[in-house]
Structure 1
Amino acid sequence: MFPGKINPKKMKQMMKQMGMEMEELEGVEKVVIYTPAGNYVFDEAQVVATTMQGATTYQLTGEARFEEAVPEIPDDDVVLVASQTGATEEAARAALVETRGDIAEAILKLAQQ
């Protein structure tokens, strides 16, 4: 972006003249981005806050791992699957979690056992 070598002190001064400030957030242990499908978790992330013209943006650097969201299973669904299969409520709930809340698939899964 800039030709040749630029002195970091000079660069910081130029950024300040343009109304731009950058600050690294110290001590960040974890950053989590929540989505309906699951969470992106960044352990030991490096985060830099940049403020320009009154707006702050955050730059995130690090390795992410994806943690799939566990669906909420209504108690009525658990009771229905348990009554249709003769399984315990714990087994019915586990089958529903495994099938991501699909009642028919959970019943078929338990019926095959």
Structure 2
Amino acid sequence: MFGGGGGMNPRKMEQMMEQMGIDVEDVDAEEVIIRTSEYDLVFDDAEVTKMDARGQETYQVIGSPEEVESGAAGGADAAGAGASEDAGSAIPDDDVEIVATRTGVSESEAREALEEHDGDLAAAVEALE
């Protein structure tokens, strides 16, 4: 990544990344699912690292996935009428935070409004105001 840094001291690398405004943290993930139109990739006990470079978040997933039928992983409802748990996972936390901050409601109320409006921020805010 930094041209010949393969032998670089990890502490030195961490200091350089901090100076560049890059924060790195491990994510304690139990399972990672990547859904495609053809299949799902399921990583059990994957190593997940989150890198935040000035607001741009990048996730690195290390592990060996199992390829399963599309929609079969994680208890997703293939018909599309998912339980609230599945719908909640489809709403980005950033969107929930935006709606909650804008309207002054709790994050759970904001998430419910976003779910009712299929993730439409403006419609959720309008419904809560």
When normalised by structure 2's length, the TM-score is 0.49
- Partner of residue 8 from structure 2, selected from 3, 6, 15: 6
Which structure has more relative contact order (CA 8 Å, sep 6+)? It is 1
Secondary structure, counterpart of 1:42 in structure 2: strand
Alpha-carbon shift at residue 4 of structure 1 (Å): 7.2
When the two chains are superposed, the root-mean-square deviation of aligned CA atoms in Å is 2.0
Q: For each residue in 1:44-95, what CA deviation from the matched residue of structure 2 results, as whole angstroms up to 9, or x when unmatched?
A: 10100011121000001100111113776xxxxxxxxxxxxxxxxxxxxxxx
Q: Does 1:20 align with 2:22?
A: yes
Segments ≥4 residues shifted beyond 6 Å: none
| Structure showing the higher strand proportion among its residues | 1
Alpha-carbon shift at residue 34 of structure 1 (Å): 1.3
Alpha-carbon shift at residue 35 of structure 1 (Å): 1.6
Max radius of gyration: which structure?
1
Secondary structure, counterpart of 1:10 in structure 2: helix
Q: Which residue of 1 aligns with 2:106?
A: none
| Structure showing the higher helix proportion among its residues | 2
Q: Does 1:31 align with 2:32?
A: yes
When normalised by structure 1's length, the TM-score is 0.55
- Point out where structure 2 has 5 or more consecutive residues left out of the alignment: 72-77, 80-129
Give percent identity, aligned residues only. Answer: 38
Q: For each residue in 1:13-61, what CA deviation from the matched residue of structure 2 results, as whole angstroms up to 9, or x when unmatched?
A: 11100111111112x1110111221211111101000111210000011
